[in-house]
Chain A
Amino acid sequence: MKKRLLIAGIVFIAVLGLSAELPWVRVPMIMALVYGTAALGVVVLLRAGQISFGHAMYMLISGYTVAFLSQAYPGADGIVLVLAGTGVSLVTGMILGLFLVRYRGIFFGMLNLAISMVIFTIVTKFYGLTGGSDGMRIPRPSLFGIDMDRAGYEATLLVILLVLAIVLIFSVQQFFRSSAGQAMASIKTNEDRLEYLGVSAKKLLWQGYALSAALCGLAGAFYGLSQGLVTPEAGYWLKSGELVFMSILGGSVHAAGVFVAALLFEFVKVYASTLMGGAWQLVLGVSLIAIIYFLPGGITSLFRKKRKTLEVRS
Chain B
Amino acid sequence: MTALLETRALSLSFGGIVAADNIDFSLQEGERLAVIGQNGAGKTTFINICTGLIKPDGGSVMFDGKIITGRSPRDIVRRGMARSFQIPQLFTEHTVRQCLELSGVARQQKLSLFSSLGKGSDGPAVDHILELVGLRERQHELCDNLPEGQRKLLDVAMSLMLRPRLLIMDEPTSGVSTEEKHDLMEVLMDALEEQKTTSIFVEHDVDIVKRYASRVAAWISGAVAADGAPDTVLADPTIQREILGI
Contacts and interface: CB of A to CB of B under 8 A. Distances in A.
B116 A174 contact: yes
B103 A197 contact: yes
Interface stretch (A115-123, A178-186, A215-223, A226-234): A178-186
B120 interface: yes
**Main SS of the interface on chain A?**
helix
A195 B113 contact: no
Interface stretch (A90-98, A103-111, A144-152, A198-206): A198-206
Given A179-B117, A180-B112, A192 B89 contact: yes
A267 interface: no
Given A196-B83, A198-B106, A174 B114 contact: yes
A190 B117 contact: no
B97 to A, nearest CB: 11
A197 B93 contact: no
Contact of B111 (A177, A183, A185, A189): A183
Nearest to A188: B93
Interface residues of A, number: 25
Contact of B90 (A190, A199, A200, A207): A190
Contacts of B111: 179-180, 183, 199, 204
Contacts of B106: 183, 194, 197-199
Contact of A189 (B77, B91, B110, B114): B91
Given A189-B91, A195-B72, A179 B110 contact: yes
A175 interface: yes
Interface residues of B, number: 34
B113 A189 contact: no
A34 B205 CA distance: 62
B82 interface: yes
Contacts of A308: none
Contact of A196 (B73, B109, B117): B73
Contacts of B158: 193, 197
Contacts of A177: 116-117
Contact of A197 (B115, B120, B162): B162
A174 B93 CA distance: 18
Interface of B: 51, 72-74, 77-78, 82-83, 89-94, 98, 101-103, 105-107, 109-117, 120, 158-159, 162
30 contacts: A174-B114, A178-B115, A178-B117, A179-B116, A180-B113, A181-B113, A182-B101, A185-B93, A185-B94, A188-B93, A189-B92, A189-B93, A190-B89, A190-B92, A195-B74, A195-B77, A196-B51, A196-B73, A197-B102, A197-B103, A197-B162, A198-B78, A198-B107, A198-B109, A198-B162, A199-B106, A199-B111, A200-B74, A204-B111, A207-B113
